[in-house]
């Protein structure tokens, strides 16, 4: 199916203050192919694609499209060169309709006078939108506000927008990171038809299964350098991983058996009205409790309630057999609960501040003599954290925003480890981070369990749930639909409970 | 080859850091240099002391604005607080009535009280600080006029007047010591105390601060109360210096204070800023207006210059931070 060369990027370099993000990187894309760009976080994938999409300027290097050199100095330039990017954080205008978003900046006008006055032809706008959406087989009401759509629908709208620009090159940055499995299937069907239409697709992803399903070729970057390009059918997973990390990772899930002790936390009939109901489970010291389920099953909401971010409508939370109230995070922290949140940027980190200030934030009291900071003690302790978690940062004074996703996640983890909680809640502990960092965080989780800590791990990644958990509770539409022990754990069993709520209370 | 890239990055990074962090110092130095050449009277001990004397009151208020901005807030009521605290303090400063400590405490506590109100409404009422402090600014002006029936408070005691008009060793204005003391105190609070860290965390990301166990509301309320107290102190010192408690004093001070903080590198979106930057920012404004005075530039032009400098300073700051 793959045809002529669409795109050639040569010798692309880009420097950010303190980091060489890209060092003479090359990349090629053919018409009708899906070309995956892989690499650890911070390898330079997103930067390379942002240069292509006109969001960053390269320091050096050339971009050729259909054999002639182009310059993309703004997203507008890139669009007119036939390049569209579907962003990881979708960039729609939330309070405008689907139609207005698709035709933003090129709205059809009503006649000549309408054009002069800037009066939009609303019926044509609507009709054009319907035809664009149906051309990719999507039915969404053009009048809906973007803010009313699900992530998957917004993505479809973005893709429709890209096709309406007649873009020959479509960049998708981790398109499946926030959508359900069924929606992933629809996306793949759509990608197939875009391919058949002769477009080239650059696909950034960390998910191996997906990559092998969808792609024709794979290019690996590491530390801002080009490593290799291979036909997907010709390369094994282990080889890919090795190329990405530059070393062999023998075990992504280094689970070590831990001594499982008494029940530390018990939840009885916990309910937040309209969100989840009658949730009951317990977790023991030394145990890793996996919480599985599909997107929107209510898992994050349950753990947020345990940590005092949300207030329960009814139900009980017991710690060491005694009922406790969790009215605020501060109180939960005092009771020995830690919370590595799903969302690093919104609630995990103070991105503007340094690694040091973030790591010491929860446990700041222990680095103080009275109200005064003991900066020496703080520096020493944060330095130890950076070393033991192998956080890649030029110094503890580096602003967290400048770190890669995996290293940012390690900063969040480091912060909670310093607080030394008895129960650590981890919501998607390895989302969007690379294989190497993943393995390190998994190793760490195992170590914590061995030290007798109880772990609640919410995860959407099946291999992670299966690989790490001693026991798994599965949620579906706001309730627990089943519980599985490690020895009975299988992907099928979990998926069954996560999707089929009729099974609840049945054979288990 | 790899090494050379790294060191190149290092050097460029260093220049970027130096510029974003110390650009304001360089600017102050250059302007000072130009003015020293342009006017023989600029670089004299008398003039420098004069500049420092004039910058002190607004500088004290600007330190308050700085911590509010760092915490992600905004205080438009500082000028109104200056007036309320000034007339309230002056009311207790007539000769032979109360010991000096009474007007001092009344002035500072009045300011702290209004600040506390700001903080509680912002934190508990979840109302944007722009709106809340715009409200207290308007109401505060009315309150100041109401307290004194639209008149000025005159006939102030010698001790009260000497509070801001004494010259230490017969030469150095005492206001400079007040300013220096406040700066030192708040430099210490912001860089060496747990509370200071909390201000940066709350301003940098309120949600993250909350989830990390910080009492976000209490931190915000304290910051507004402290800023109010500083504006109150400023109002008191202004009443002493001008020998009158005036309900229309301090007009526009809130904006000058914010300007000093912002020129000194404090972010208007919270989480970033330094007391030292604000000192330099306040000095920069004062030096320019002093210099333009010496060069006989009419004050109308001075305002235009000041406005443009604010925009330029923020532009430079954004450029150095958002390099793409």
Best of B206, B211, B322 to disrupt the A interface (most A CBs within 10 Å) is B211
* pLDDT > 70 fraction of chain A, expressed in percent and rounded: 94
The two most distant CA atoms of chain B are separated, in Å, by 79
CA dist., res. A438 & res. B93, Å (int): 68
Reported confidence tier of residue B5, pLDDT bands at 50, 70, 90: very low
Least confident of A42-46, B250-254, B275-279: A42-46
What pLDDT sits at residue A508?
36
Half-sphere exposure for A349 (CA within 13 Å, toward CB): 27
Is B152 within a domain?
yes
- Looking at the complex, report in whole angstroms how far the Cα of residue A116 sits from the nearest Cα belonging to chain B: 34
- A103/chain B closest Cα distance in angstroms: 27
Which positions in chain B touch A352 (Cβ < 8 Å)? 204-205, 267, 271-272
Identify the closest residue of chain B to A358 by CA–CA distance. Answer: B201
Residue A353 is nearest to which of B10, B194, B271, comparing CB atoms?
Answer: B271
Task: Indicate whether A204 pLDDT > 80.
Answer: yes
Residues of B in contact with A47 (CB under 8 A): none
- Please count the structural domains in chain B: 1
Please answer whether residues A30 and A6 qualify as being in contact, where contact means their C-beta atoms are separated by less than 8 angstroms. yes
The answer to whether the CB atoms of A353 and B16 lie below 8 A apart is no
Of A15, A309, A371, the CB nearest to B211: A309
pLDDT recorded at residue B116: 98
Q: Is the pLDDT of residue B27 over 90?
A: no
Tens of pLDDT, residue by residue over A205-233, are: 877 888 899 999 999 998 889 999 999 99
Give the pLDDT band (50/70/90) at residue B78: very high
- Comparing B223 with A210, the larger pLDDT belongs to B223
Q: What are A86's strand-pairing partners?
A: A172
What is the distance between the alpha carbons of residues B258 and B307, in angstroms, rounded to a whole number?
12
pLDDT at A294 over 80: no
Judged by DSSP in three states, A205 sits in coil
Q: What is the mean pLDDT of residues A188-197?
A: 91
* Residue A506 confidence (pLDDT) above 50: no
| Structure-token match 């909680």, residue found | A421
Distance CA A69, CA A259 (A): 63
CA distance B231 to B72: 18
Domain for residue B27, yes or no? no
Query: With 60 as the cut, is the pLDDT of residue B324 above it?
Result: no
**pLDDT-wise least confident of A148-152, A164-168, B318-322:** B318-322
Reduced to 3 states (helix: H, G, I; strand: E, B; else coil), residue A90 is: coil
Task: Write the pLDDT tens digit of every residue in B110-169.
Answer: 999 999 999 999 999 999 999 999 999 999 999 999 999 989 999 999 999 999 999 999
Confidence of residue B202 (pLDDT cuts 50, 70, 90): very high
What separation, in Å, do the N-terminal and C-terminal C-alpha atoms of chain B show?
A: 24
Per-residue model confidence as pLDDT tens digits over B294-322? 888 888 888 898 888 888 877 877 776 65
What is the distance in angstroms between the Cα of A13 and the nearest Cα belonging to chain B? 11
- Chain B residues within an 8 Å CB radius of A351: 204-205
Element (H or E) spanning A293, and its range? strand A288-293
**Residue B53 domain-assigned?**
no
User: In 10 A of CB A263, how many CB atoms?
Assistant: 15
In this complex, how many residue pairs, one in chain A and one in chain B, have their CB atoms less than 8 Å apart? 96
Q: Is B204 helix (H, G, I), strand (E, B) or coil?
A: helix
- Look at residue A496 and tell me whether its pLDDT is greater than 80: no
Say if residue B23's pLDDT is above 70.
yes
Taking the Cβ of residue B3 and every Cβ of chain A, the question of whether any pair is shorter than 8 Å is answered with: no
Q: At residue A254, what are phi and psi to the nearest 5 degrees?
A: -75, 65
DSSP H or E segment with residue A190: helix A181-196
Of the candidates B13, B214, B267, the beta carbon closest to that of A17 is on: B13
CB-based contact B281:B62 (threshold 8 Å)? yes
Dump pLDDT digits (tens) for A109-141.
887 887 778 788 888 899 999 988 888 888 889
Contact A56 B324 (CB under 8 A): yes
| Of residues A162 and B111, more confidently modeled | B111
Which among A40-44, A434-438, B188-192 has the top mean pLDDT? B188-192
| Average pLDDT, integer, range A161-172 | 89
Q: Is A352 on the interface with B (CB under 8 A)?
A: yes
Q: Answer yes or no: is pLDDT of A184 > 50.
A: yes
More confident residue, A386 or B12: A386
Is residue A67 helix, strand or coil?
coil
Average pLDDT, chain A: 88
Over residues A182-202, the mean pLDDT reads 90
Asked if A415 reaches chain B (Cβ–Cβ under 8 Å), the answer is yes
> Per-residue pLDDT averaged across B269-281, rounded?
95
Beta bridge partners of A290: A457, A472
Residues of chain B found within 8 Å of residue A306, distances taken between Cβ atoms: none
pLDDT of residue B99: 96
**Residue span of the structural domain in which B161 resides:** 59-282
Give the confidence band of B101 by pLDDT, cuts at 50, 70, 90: very high
Residue with the two structure tokens 């060169």: A81
How far is Cα B260 from Cα B24, in angstroms, rounded to an integer? 11
Decide if pLDDT at A367 tops 70.
yes
Judge: B205–A368 Cβ closer than 8 Å, yes or no: no
In a domain? residue B320: no
Residue B125 located in a structural domain? yes
In the prediction, which pLDDT does B1 show? Answer: 34
Residue B182 lies in a domain: yes
Q: Residue B26, by phi and psi: left (phi above 0), alpha (psi -120 to 50) or beta? A: alpha
Predicted pLDDT of residue B3: 38
* Interface pTM, i.e. ipTM: 0.87
Answer whether residue B8 shows pLDDT above 90.
no
Q: Which of residues 212-241 of B touch A (CB under 8 A)?
A: 212-215
Does the pLDDT of residue A505 top 60, yes or no? no
How far apart (Å, rounded) are the C-alpha atoms in residues A202 and A29?
8
Question: Which among B16, B192, B212 is the nearest to A372, CB-wise?
Answer: B192
Range of A85-89, B5-9, B231-235 with top mean pLDDT:
B231-235
Query: Confidence band (pLDDT; 50, 70, 90) for B180?
Result: very high
Partner-chain contact A330 B214, CB within 8 Å: yes
């Amino acid at each position: 199916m793959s045809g002529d060369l669409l795109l050639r990027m040569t010798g692309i370099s880009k420097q950010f203050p303190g980091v060489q993000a890209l060092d003479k990187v090359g990349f090629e894309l053919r018409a009708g192919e899906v070309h995956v760009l892989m690499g650890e976080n911070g390898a330079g994938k997103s930067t390379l694609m942002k240069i292509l999409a006109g969001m960053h300027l390269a320091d050096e290097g050339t971009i050729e499209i259909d054999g002639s050199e182009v310059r993309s100095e703004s997203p507008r330039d890139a669009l007119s060169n036939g390049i569209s990017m579907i962003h990881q954080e979708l960039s729609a205008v939330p309070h405008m309709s689907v139609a207005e978003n698709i035709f933003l900046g090129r709205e059809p006008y009503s006649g000549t006078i309408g054009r002069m006055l800037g009066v939009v032809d609303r019926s044509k706008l609507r009709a054009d939108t319907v035809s664009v959406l149906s051309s990719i087989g999507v039915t969404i009401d053009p009048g809906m506000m973007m803010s009313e759509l699900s992530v998957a629908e917004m993505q479809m709208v973005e893709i429709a927008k890209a096709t309406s620009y007649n873009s020959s090159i479509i960049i998708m940055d981790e398109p499946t990171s926030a959508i359900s499995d069924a929606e992933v299937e629809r996306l793949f069907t759509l990608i197939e038809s875009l391919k058949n239409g002769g477009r080239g697709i650059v696909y950034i992803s960390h998910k191996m299964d997906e990559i092998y399903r969808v792609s024709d070729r794979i290019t690996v970057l590491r530390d801002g350098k080009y490593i290799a390009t291979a036909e997907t059918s010709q390369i094994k997973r282990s080889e890919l991983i090795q190329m990405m990390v530059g070393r062999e990772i023998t075990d992504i899930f280094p689970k070590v058996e831990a001594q499982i002790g008494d029940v530390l936390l018990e939840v009885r009939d916990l309910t937040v009205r309209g969100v989840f109901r009658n949730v009951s489970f317990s977790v023991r010291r030394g145990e890793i409790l996996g919480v599985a389920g599909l997107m929107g099953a209510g898992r994050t909401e349950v753990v947020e309630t345990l940590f005092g971010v949300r207030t329960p409508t009814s139900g009980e939370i017991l710690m060491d057999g005694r009922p406790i109230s969790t009215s605020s995070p501060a109180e939960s922290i005092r009771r020995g609960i830690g919370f590595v949140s799903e969302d690093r940027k919104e609630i995990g980190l103070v991105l503007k501040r340094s690694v040091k200030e973030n790591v010491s934030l929860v446990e700041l009291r222990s680095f103080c003599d009275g109200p005064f900071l003991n900066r020496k003690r703080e520096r020493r302790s944060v330095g130890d954290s950076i070393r033991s978690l192998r956080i890649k940062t030029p110094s503890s004074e580096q602003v967290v925003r400048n770190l890669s996703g995996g290293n940012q996640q390690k900063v969040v983890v480091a912060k909670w480890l310093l607080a030394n909680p008895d129960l650590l809640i981890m919501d998607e502990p390895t989302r969007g981070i690379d294989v190497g960092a993943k393995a390190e965080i998994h190793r760490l989780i195992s170590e914590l369990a061995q030290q007798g800590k109880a772990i609640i791990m919410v995860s959407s990644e099946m291999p992670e749930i299966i690989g790490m958990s001693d026991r798994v509770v599965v949620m579906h539409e706001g309730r627990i639909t089943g519980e599985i022990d490690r020895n009975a754990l299988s992907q099928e069993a979990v998926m069954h409970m996560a999707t089929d709520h009729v099974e609840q209370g049945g054979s288990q | 080859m790899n090494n050379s890239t790294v060191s190149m990055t290092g050097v460029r990074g260093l220049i970027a850091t130096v510029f974003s962090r110390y650009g304001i110092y360089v600017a102050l130095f250059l302007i000072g240099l130009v003015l020293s050449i342009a006017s023989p009277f600029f670089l004299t001990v008398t003039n420098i002391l004069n500049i420092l004397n004039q910058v002190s009151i607004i500088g004290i208020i600007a330190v308050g604005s700085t911590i509010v901005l760092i915490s992600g807030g905004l205080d438009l009521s500082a000028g109104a607080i200056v007036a309320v605290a000034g007339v309230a303090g002056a009311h207790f400063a007539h000769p032979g009535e109360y010991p000096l400590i009474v007007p001092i405490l009344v002035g500072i506590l009045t300011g702290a009280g209004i600040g506390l109100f700001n903080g509680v409404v912002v934190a508990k009422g979840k109302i944007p600080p722009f709106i809340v402090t715009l409200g207290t600014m308007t109401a505060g002006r009315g309150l100041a006029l109401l307290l004194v029936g639209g008149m000025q408070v005159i006939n102030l005691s010698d001790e009260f007047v000497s509070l801001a008009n004494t010259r230490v060793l017969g030469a150095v204005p005492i206001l400079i010591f007040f300013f220096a003391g406040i700066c030192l105190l708040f430099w210490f609070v912001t860089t060496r105390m747990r509370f200071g860290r909390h201000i940066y965390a709350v301003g940098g990301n309120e949600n993250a601060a909350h989830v990390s166990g910080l009492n976000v509301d209490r931190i915000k309320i304290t910051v507004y109360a402290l800023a109010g107290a500083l504006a109150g102190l400023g109002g008191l010192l202004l009443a002493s210096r001008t020998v009158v408690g005036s309900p229309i004093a301090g007009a526009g001070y809130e904006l000058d204070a914010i300007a000093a903080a912002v020129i000194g590198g404090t972010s208007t979106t919270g989480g970033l800023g330094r007391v030292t930057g604000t000192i330099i920012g306040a000095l920069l404004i004062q030096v320019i207006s002093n210099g333009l005075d010496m060069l006989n530039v009419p004050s109308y032009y001075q305002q235009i210059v000041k406005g443009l400098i604010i925009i330029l300073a923020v532009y430079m700051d954004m450029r150095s931070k958002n390099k793409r």
